[in-house]
A and B are shown apart, each in its own frame.
Chain A
């Protein structure tokens, strides 16, 4: 007989099988992701996701009998009072009747539900997307450095002395070298005191002599083995490492004048959600800035951004100026990866166009990793909007992209088009 401990064997043997399974149900996962986007706020989409899959997609067919046809017989336990020849009305629905009398809860096999982990969810979702200019900025962004602890050192400046480590070593050394403790000495002295107090001729008493010699020995040892020795000293060690920029800020710019209806804002929201999800894949911290504008612009919270009502003319450049101001104040370009997504129905005052283009061309595009403009609309039309027209001269700029979205189903494809890994390669 042999007992073998297999607990150390590699875990998650079935991981490969699980991945094969996920690959198979990818289309369902896409659907689940879309549903998640509909119901959650911009920053709160990327948790795990429950996916339900119908068995027809993942069923494993075999030749089996049609349960509603043919004659069957069963032997089953627990007869109470049936006699031979009794007839029992079949349960309605005409299923197999007795036999495996299905449970009233009806736990069938038709809907197969399971949880995707957050990683699986996002991996599948962003499979073939890539952040534009990611590599470039990474190289560029290693500009600052950071101190962090890196164990202990034998020497260092006094303010870095690590007391507990030092004492720990001193204690170990003292025990190893048998340094007597203070209270041992005290005890012996007390005993000597007591012996002397008992009178007698102290100098010749055997006990007293022994104690005196012992005390001498201890005193000598205490001097020979110091309480704290230079070899005990330990200092905190710090190392300097370059700090890569792992943060990004995402500017959501939107025209919120009356022409932007709820449904258009919803289209924009889905786009922003995708972008936010996407950025959190690549950066440790992603901050959101919502800027809405009519003829003036202001930074607002998400609720106001998507649901506030305002009317007034449209001056796009006001939003861009607001963005520049915020970047200057809070997001120094050397530390932050800056992304901006502008959603609009395309309307802008004609007189503002030159200024808008100039702002983008001279300042904003240069500090952004990527600037995406999506034009939302309710139906296809031949009319070309002021912004679409004006932005066409930015097309050649590598950091700029634009696309039109008319329907929620187009969001993902459009996003994909804007951020596909092949885009900037082509």
Chain B
């Protein structure tokens, strides 16, 4: 392995070099680091196509919607003015794992992107438990193609406006469109084809309670009524946290195509849910992997000093963490923290200090840090990862401190700093920050009257006095009412005292 000859020199790239570099990286990634990845597919695109892709939720195929056009206009403007550079890479959680590289990039950049996306992210996608439970990598692109075609057909048949209204409403509910618990039956490859086939017929067959109010043969009328009541409780399964799924199943006035549109948006939201929960780890993993690989390539003489300098320049920019009082501060940089934590795990495994032995008895001094990292990448999400692995060493290094902001008080108070007394508190609060279920408002469908006034009631359980912003709430509620077709009410209830804080009401447009 030592003293190989250079893979490339200078900054020009070509397809042959991309292939050669990929193979060299693969040797290190799989042979030395023990990564386990989907097959790779590298696609070369132009910067314009890159803008296209990442303004459509980062997807290569996406249905049409004005909000993507809006995002495009903004990004393009920033890019043209030079206020913002393009993303270097984009990677799709699919099998094969698709990574995009831009034609303008230098060869070193392409090498970095291949290591980062095609091995770092790819390994994470394939192994992390959330992705294994939630996303079916081999179907992603098919699903997207289906969605795009379906929505285009709907636009043709029912008009742009109608489809846009439904999509607008569905998008407003995207973060309330995920199921937070794993599906009962983890999907297996062989089920997939059958499921795809049966999904549509299942939907058609799904019985909607309201349709039962149609006149029925007289002799069975009464007994049906009784069944009705039972069905109502069992099929609605309230409370329901997934508003999109609830509406697509039970909203009385929706057309079939609208239900399917809601399902498409819901699945997109669900697809991104694991990504949101693992952003820190995912970026950390990819950054750690590219850093390891680039250094190995350099050690073995496969890339030269010039390439290494160019790489280090980019790497440093990516993992910069400005301090809280820095103008550039935009919160915690997931690349920086993720990478720092993973380097820290390496340190704990290889050269622990007494403190580490006390905090991490299981891994300190154990050597073989790659095994520890691989396990962590597979079994944790951001919240639990921080809770488990954020070390005092790193807390000191980043000089982390916790402040709390109590409404009504004119002051912020410093609750914990990087000292003996504060480590655990800081770690706990930091983990909390990454807990998505705490970050999003907790809104559930609590009542749905399918017989009488057909009112839908949503409940927001308010924690720590964090109420909804009323402007947006009213606007989203109007969307909900339009989907539901009747009056919709949202009640904000304090989770601790049970008292009602706010009460919103919206009616459907005729």
Q: Provided the pairs A64-B441, A66-B469 are in contact, do residues A71 and B404 lie with their beta carbons within 8 angstroms? A: yes
A87 to B415, CA, bound (A): 9
Chain A residue with Cβ nearest B404: A73
Q: Which residues of B contact A18 (CB under 8 A)?
A: 69, 72-73
- Distance in Å: Cβ of A105 to nearest Cβ of chain B: 9
Q: Does A113 lie at the interface of the complex (its beta carbon under 8 Å from any beta carbon of B)? A: yes
Could you tell me if A4 and B44 are in contact, using CB atoms closer than 8 angstroms? yes
In-complex Cβ contact of A62 among B56, B175, B419 (8 A): B175
Q: Does A389 lie at the interface of the complex (its beta carbon under 8 Å from any beta carbon of B)? A: no
Q: Does A148 lie at the interface of the complex (its beta carbon under 8 Å from any beta carbon of B)? A: no
Surface stretch bound by A, among B35-43, B220-228, B303-311, B481-489: B35-43
Q: Which residues between 396 and 447 of chain B lie within 8 Å of chain A, taking CB atoms?
A: 398-407, 409-419, 421-422, 426, 429-430, 432-433, 440-441, 443
A131 to B48, CA, bound (A): 37
Q: Does B74 lie at the interface of the complex (its beta carbon under 8 Å from any beta carbon of A)? A: yes
Q: Does A106 lie at the interface of the complex (its beta carbon under 8 Å from any beta carbon of B)? A: no
In-complex Cβ contact of B407 among A23, A70, A98 (8 A): A70
- Distance in Å: Cβ of B148 to nearest Cβ of chain A: 11
Q: Does B52 lie at the interface of the complex (its beta carbon under 8 Å from any beta carbon of A)? A: yes
Q: Does B468 lie at the interface of the complex (its beta carbon under 8 Å from any beta carbon of A)? A: yes
Q: Does B34 lie at the interface of the complex (its beta carbon under 8 Å from any beta carbon of A)? A: no
Q: Provided the pairs A65-B441, A75-B400 are in contact, do residues A86 and B476 lie with their beta carbons within 8 angstroms? A: no
Q: Does B18 lie at the interface of the complex (its beta carbon under 8 Å from any beta carbon of A)? A: yes
A69 to B408, CA, bound (A): 8
Could you tell me if B473 and A63 are in contact, using CB atoms closer than 8 angstroms? yes
Q: Which residues of A contact B159 (CB under 8 A)?
A: none
- Distance in Å: Cβ of A267 to nearest Cβ of chain B: 34
Q: Does A58 lie at the interface of the complex (its beta carbon under 8 Å from any beta carbon of B)? A: yes
- Distance in Å: Cβ of A75 to nearest Cβ of chain B: 4
- Distance in Å: Cβ of B434 to nearest Cβ of chain A: 10
- Distance in Å: Cβ of B180 to nearest Cβ of chain A: 15
Q: Does B174 lie at the interface of the complex (its beta carbon under 8 Å from any beta carbon of A)? A: yes
Q: Which of B40, B43, B173, B441 has the most CB of A within 10 A?
A: B43
A156 to B60, CA, bound (A): 56
Please report whether the interface of chain B is mostly helix, strand, loop or mixed according to DSSP.
mixed
Q: Provided the pairs A2-B41, A71-B405, A75-B401 are in contact, do residues A61 and B414 lie with their beta carbons within 8 angstroms? A: no
In-complex Cβ contact of A79 among B327, B399, B433 (8 A): B399
Q: Provided the pairs A1-B40, A65-B467 are in contact, do residues A84 and B417 lie with their beta carbons within 8 angstroms? A: yes
Residues of A within 8 Å of B, CB-based: how many?
Answer: 65
Q: Does A383 lie at the interface of the complex (its beta carbon under 8 Å from any beta carbon of B)? A: no
- Distance in Å: Cβ of B45 to nearest Cβ of chain A: 5
Q: Does B239 lie at the interface of the complex (its beta carbon under 8 Å from any beta carbon of A)? A: no
Q: Provided the pairs A7-B49, A20-B164, A60-B171 are in contact, do residues A77 and B321 lie with their beta carbons within 8 angstroms? A: yes
- Distance in Å: Cβ of B196 to nearest Cβ of chain A: 25
Could you tell me if B468 and A20 are in contact, using CB atoms closer than 8 angstroms? no
A115 to B77, CA, bound (A): 8
Surface stretch bound by A, among B125-133, B328-336, B353-361, B368-376: B328-336
Residues of B within 8 Å of A, CB-based: how many?
Answer: 100
In-complex Cβ contact of A76 among B64, B160, B403 (8 A): B403
Could you tell me if B64 and A17 are in contact, using CB atoms closer than 8 angstroms? yes
Q: Provided the pairs A14-B56, A60-B172 are in contact, do residues A3 and B44 lie with their beta carbons within 8 angstroms? A: yes
Q: Does A183 lie at the interface of the complex (its beta carbon under 8 Å from any beta carbon of B)? A: no
Q: Which residues of A contact B219 (CB under 8 A)?
A: none
Q: Which residues between 76 and 102 of chain A lie within 8 Å of chain B, taking CB atoms?
A: 76-80, 82-90, 96-101
A–B complex contacts, Cβ < 8 Å, 21 sampled: A1-B26, A7-B46, A13-B52, A14-B51, A17-B66, A17-B67, A18-B69, A62-B172, A63-B476, A64-B472, A66-B466, A69-B466, A70-B467, A72-B404, A72-B405, A84-B414, A84-B422, A86-B414, A89-B411, A97-B403, A100-B330
The residues of B with any CB-CB pair to A shorter than 8 Å are 15, 18-19, 22-23, 26, 39-46, 48-49, 51-52, 55-56, 64-70, 72-74, 77, 96, 100, 103, 160, 164, 168, 171-176, 321-327, 329-332, 398-407, 409-419, 421-422, 426, 429-430, 432-433, 440-441, 443, 460, 462, 464-473, 475-476, 479
Closest 3 pairs (CB-CB, A-B): A78-B323, A17-B69, A70-B466
Other contacts beyond A14-B55, A78-B326: 16, CB < 8 A: A1-B22, A5-B43, A7-B44, A16-B64, A18-B69, A23-B66, A62-B175, A62-B476, A64-B441, A65-B468, A67-B469, A70-B466, A75-B401, A77-B332, A88-B411, A103-B327
